[in-house]
Amino acid sequence: MIAVPVDEQSAEPPLAPGSSAGGVDKTWPEPDLSLLDSRRGDLPSFPADVLPGFWRAWVEAAARAAGASVDHVALSLATAAASLIGVARYVAPVPSWAEPCILWTVLVGSASSGKTPAAQTALRLMAVLEQQLESINAAARKRHAAEAKAIVDGWMKPGSRVESLPPPFVPRRITISDVAIRAVVDVMTGTPRGALLARDQHGPWLVDMVRSAATRRDRPFWLAAWSATAFRADRSHQWLDDEFVHPAVSILGTIRPEALSSSLDGDDDTDSLAARFLFTWPQSPPFHALTDMVLPDGTAVLKALSRLRDMPEERRDLPLAPSALAAFDGFRRMHHAEAGEREGREAGWWGKGAGLVLRLAGVLTFLDWAGRPSGTAEPDSVPAWAVEAASILWQGYLWSHAQAAFRTAGGDARESKAQRALRWLQRQGTAEISRTTLRRKALGLSCSAAETQRIAESLVTGGWLRPVEIASSSSGGRPPLRWAVNPELHRPDVHVGC
């Protein structure tokens, strides 16, 4: 996230205003760079072998043609496929536990890292699949109009029973671009099995989502969308016609590393949403000559994805095959044994591991089926290879990438807020700050005065702040709490961010 070269030969930093006592400035200690150092680190590459052969070949060809990483293309494909399956198929290891095929994925990468072209490899396919629905929607609209007309005509017949008109027709759509709940619900009305929320934009989509959730007004909706359970509208959602809605939303979004911190800064409610995202943060893709590129077969891929789109709507729960159940129990045993070693955001993300492995295994199972010849029967259970592949993907790849994302955003809530304060101080060029300003401006009133004091003390311990001695006021009141800011923070080669 940051590389801060320390020049051991540099002169003593200039005196910060108000930081002297008797005109003598004490030498600043070397600041704790770990508060800023949230670099990506050495992360594993995407294990392409977890993909069925048909899709592995397409992902590799699509990544090369788009100048993108295999990691970003593979997770984009998996998330798009999950949205097409949605709540039509669940994975149920036991009758009392069923997971929908819903995934939330964030493609992390710096500018020009290829994350947008990678997302577009899947989003272009989704756009074609949606265009193909126009004729289906037109026919459904015609049937709806005929049904309504028949009811109205029936009203005119003496002695006929008065029937209510059907609800307004809503066409089926498979993609959404707006995180506003009203927009999502509008799409869900015509697409109950699920849709893909795609945010391949520079706007603060993740901030908008988690901040609305942090207010506790929208959080129940997003939790319902993740688990495909009923959401009960309250007075703030008076525009809803029905008291209950059943959202089912997969998410595919791109984000720059420096935006992760502001997106994930927050409280436990923010962390609970972050725990549901899959993060992938690969190295920039290698150079490939245009003459060496081979375009992937889009026709075959579209045909395969259309099989997922056109599966029967009626819900079906897939059990685990006996060998798959044994493999899943092996994963759960490891997962349980290591759970106590996690803290903060990492503990929250780790806790979702078993459910995510089931979801990934379900997506892989149906991707494999969709890539097989037409007429191949739908799978009636999740095979062992899918559970094993999902376990490898989650534990050997996604876990490390989630840790990197959380390091970027701060290891825990207090550390995250300390980083947030440092970013604000650097942007403002502030040399001195009071507790009131720290709480109101730098932290946006996101914590109490006592918590603000603890955050300031952690920054003092880290060498970024130090108390300013101020004489008591003439009225005899308690002097205000103020701190000087280490001038090291304002050096031009210090960048708080990734």
Sign of CA pseudo-dihedral 132, 133, 137, 139: positive
d(CA 331, CA 356): 12
pLDDT given for residue 20 in this prediction:
38
421 to 15, 16, 62, 70, 458: CA distances (angstroms): 21, 18, 41, 36, 11
What are the residues whose beta carbons fall under 8 Å from the beta carbon of 283, sequence distance 6 or more?
A: 43, 45, 69
pLDDT given for residue 448 in this prediction:
87
Query: Contact 279/79 with Cβ under 8 angstroms?
Result: no
pLDDT given for residue 361 in this prediction:
98
pLDDT given for residue 81 in this prediction:
98
Q: Domain boundaries in the chain?
A: 33-38+413-490, 48-138+167-409
pLDDT given for residue 36 in this prediction:
65
Question: Could you tell me which residues are beta bridge partners of residue 24?
Answer: 21
d(CA 320, CA 91): 7
d(CA 293, CA 66): 9
**Extended strands (E) in 139-246:** 175-176, 195-199, 231-232, 244-245
Instruction: Give the global pTM.
Output: 0.73
- Segments of the chain with pLDDT less than 70: 1-26, 33-41, 159-160, 162, 201-204, 210-217, 233-244, 262, 265-269, 293, 409-414, 416, 470-480, 493-498
What are the residues whose beta carbons fall under 8 Å from the beta carbon of 495, sequence distance 6 or more?
A: 2
What's the fold here for domain 48-138+167-409?
A: Rossmann fold (3.40.50)
User: Could you identify the residue written with the tokens 């795609």?
Assistant: 198
φ, ψ (nearest 5 deg) of residue 478: -70, 135
Pick the CATH number of 33-38+413-490 from 3.30.1490.20, 3.30.565.10, 1.10.10.10, 3.90.1200.10: 1.10.10.10
Decide: helix, strand or coil at residue 431. coil
pLDDT given for residue 397 in this prediction:
97
Decide: helix, strand or coil at residue 453. helix
Are domains 33-38+413-490 and 48-138+167-409 of this chain identical in fold?
no
* Per-residue pLDDT tens digits for 117-169: 999 999 999 999 999 988 887 887 888 788 778 777 777 777 667 677 777 77
pLDDT given for residue 103 in this prediction:
98
Query: Contact 154/160 with Cβ under 8 angstroms?
Result: yes
pLDDT given for residue 192 in this prediction:
85
